[in-house]
Amino acid sequence: MKMQQSHSNQNLEKQVLILTTENTLYKTELASLQNKVTELQEQLEWFQNQLFGRKSEKIIIDPKNQYYQLAFDGFEVDTLEVQEGTTIPSHKRIKPNRNGKDKITLPPNIPVETIILDIPEDQKFCKETGEPLVKIGEEITHKLAHKPGSHFIKEFIRPKYALPDEGILTAELPDSIIPRCRADESFLAEILTRKFADHTPLYRISEILTRQGIGVSRKLLSQWVVRLGLALKPLRDEMLKQILESKNIFVDETTVRFIEKKSKQGYLWTICGGMASDPPYRIYNFTENRKHKHILHVLKNYKGVVHSDKYGAYLKLAQNKEIIWSPCWSHVRRKFFEAKSGDTSFREWVLEEIQKLFKLEEKAWLLSAEERLEIRKKEEEPIIDELIEKIRDKLTNGKILLKSKFKESLGYFCSLIPYLKNYIKHPYARLDNNVAERAIRPIAIGRKNWLFFGSVNGGEAGAVVLSLVQTCRGLRINPREYLEDILRRIMGHNSQKLYELLPDQWLLNKS
């Protein structure tokens, strides 16, 4: 009897153990599935936001929050309080903008075509008396009009003179950047401007010309663009030299397609530099892949401040102390902005603190270099120190889902801690890498139109022309005017003084 009871107890204990083990496994599986559901919900929200949501990372913060209590000279925040019970009309008439921004401005020398609209001759007499009507003035109305772009032929007539026993003497043709090309530099400059400033594909340019009675094939246009780009390459290289002599540079890259037997993915790297808050020089390099060696070669002798995202090549240079790396705080903010799960109040606090840094930087850039460093040391550094302390503690001690975007944002921030305060010590360093990102934006717009480069040479030529065109746009220079001038002059210009043909120097010499 006792043996049976003992055997029964053993069976019961065994069943309890099995059930306990199964329960533990089910709980573990349930927790794993819950984590997976949260992860998938985050991904779904991110994709929905990319498709249908707003792209702005603007943060709406309670006006009563201490964030608004920062003492900025000349900055005031007005709040609108609506009392309970107040009726707000559903429709309110919006007054038209009368600040002058919606007016048409015209150059002083614009041609005027006069059209006289007169009443018929039989109506120029008074019906009662038969006397002729007296003209007392005119009603004048101006309308901006357009005609298809005009083209013309340059005819060079060169008299030939016979030299006894020596042959024929005639004047030389002007230097041409493409030998024996039937297109003038003015026409070539127009093609480059349409493609690289207005993002018009070559096949559309060819169609536009056809409608105007001018037949130039896309193939021929493509050949001209490649030859022009490679001929202008020394100017791009000179601009890169000037950038690498500055104390701050901004680097970013984006993908482009190019054709080499089949469609492949290449990269356009942008490097911006200068001492101004928005450096004027913006150059582009084309590469067939994203290997570290490309950017490492460009930056091999550079010792200044490099602003960039967290790409491994820049991190490697920073770890070897070859550069002063200033990672982009906009990327840090974006990580937390996208991390909508996890500790919501902590996430909002981080975003508010980062926003304080950006507001302080707005004020700092209105002041001298010395005053800028002082504001950063006294007001910005304590904010960063507090962020580092609390985020590190949250990552170490907080209860966080392993694969959540919230944990990813905390880890991203902590990986940058050794470099987050580098910008504080250098007056012309920036909090973000927006200079390079703004230079990348035209590429993202353009590739939606021209889609790809026709070859590796096409990618390199495109990068060269983009460097000149986008630098002109940054300096508010008409790229069409600039390109026509340098296309005429570069072949005969002193190779030791190429810097004189760079957009900023060209503008100074012109004025």
Q: Are residues 232 and 318 in the same domain?
A: yes
Last residue of a domain, one of 425, 459, 493: 425
With CA atoms as reference, report the closest residue to 415 among 484, 348, 335.
335
pLDDT in tens, 369-396: 899 999 999 999 999 999 999 999 888 8
Do 306 and 394 lie in a common domain? no
CA distance 158 to 49: 66
Q: Pick from 304, 303, 352, 365: which is nearest to 373 by CA? A: 365
Residue 183 · residue 224 · CB < 8 Å: yes
Residues 461, 491 contacting (CB under 8 angstroms) = no
- The domain boundary, picked from 401, 425, 449, lies at 425
What mean pLDDT do residues 326-350 have?
Answer: 88
Mark whether 315 and 451 lie in a shared domain: yes
**pLDDT 10s digits, 171-212:** 888 888 988 888 889 999 999 999 999 999 999 999 998 888
Which residue bears the tokens 């096409």? 458
Count of domains observed in the chain:
2
Query: Mean pLDDT over residues 22-36, rounded?
Result: 71
448 and 418: one domain? no
Show the domain range for 279. Answer: 228-326+434-510
Quick: pLDDT tens for 258-289: 887 778 888 999 999 866 666 888 999 998 88
Q: Which residue has the higher pLDDT, 187 or 43?
A: 187
CA dihedral defined by 309, 311, 317, 323, rounded to 10 degrees?
A: -10
In this structure, the strands spanning 324-327 and 305-308 are parallel
In a domain? residue 402:
yes
Whether pTM exceeds 0.85: no
**The one-letter amino acid at 480:** R
CATH number of the domain where residue 301 is located: 3.30.420
Alpha helices in 157-299 (DSSP H): 185-196, 202-211, 218-231, 233-244, 292-298
Class of residue 55 by CB neighbours under 10 A (exposed 0-12, middle 13-18, buried 19+): exposed
